Amino acid sequence: DVKVTQSSRYLVKRTGEKVFLECVQDMDHENMFWYRQDPGLGLRLIYFSYDVKMKEKGDIPEGYSVSREKKERFSLILESASTNQTSMYLCASAFTGWTGAYNEQFFGPGTRLTVL
């Protein structure tokens, strides 16, 4: 089974702090994603990565950056946390089949971040 793990389930930070959220997957997936989940809005894509050191902005990248130095690890960085970044953050990974048929994304357990 695919396993996607996230470094923390709950995190409380203060406004202005730099925050790191870590995600690790164990299935050698090429693609990794960061989402935030807010009530009534579903999940929204922040950033994604197709390969090591490659990253692309998703739909709501403002205030966030990412890092992917190893294939299995994808980090989300809040350079200066703000209260409007209080949310549930979900990491996902997926395999891109050699035929180009994309498979579903597998999600981690999520990190509930509160910024005070």
Binding site for other proteins (CB under 8 A): 31, 33, 35, 40-45, 48, 50, 58-59, 90, 92, 94, 96, 101-110
Percent helix, percent strand, percent coil in the chain, to nearest 5: 5, 55, 45
Residue 39 beta carbon to other proteins: minimum distance, rounded to whole angstroms: 9
Q: Which residues of 24-56 are buried (b: 16+ CB within 10 A; e: fewer)?
A: bbeeebebbbbbbeeeeeeeebbbbbeeeeebe
Give me 63's structure tokens: 């205030």
Residue 57 beta carbon to other proteins: minimum distance, rounded to whole angstroms: 10
Nearest to other proteins of 47, 85 (CB atom): 47
Nearest to other proteins of 15, 64 (CB atom): 64
Longest pairwise C-alpha distance within the chain: 47
Residue 13 beta carbon to other proteins: minimum distance, rounded to whole angstroms: 21
Nearest to other proteins of 8, 18 (CB atom): 8
Residue 27 beta carbon to other proteins: minimum distance, rounded to whole angstroms: 14
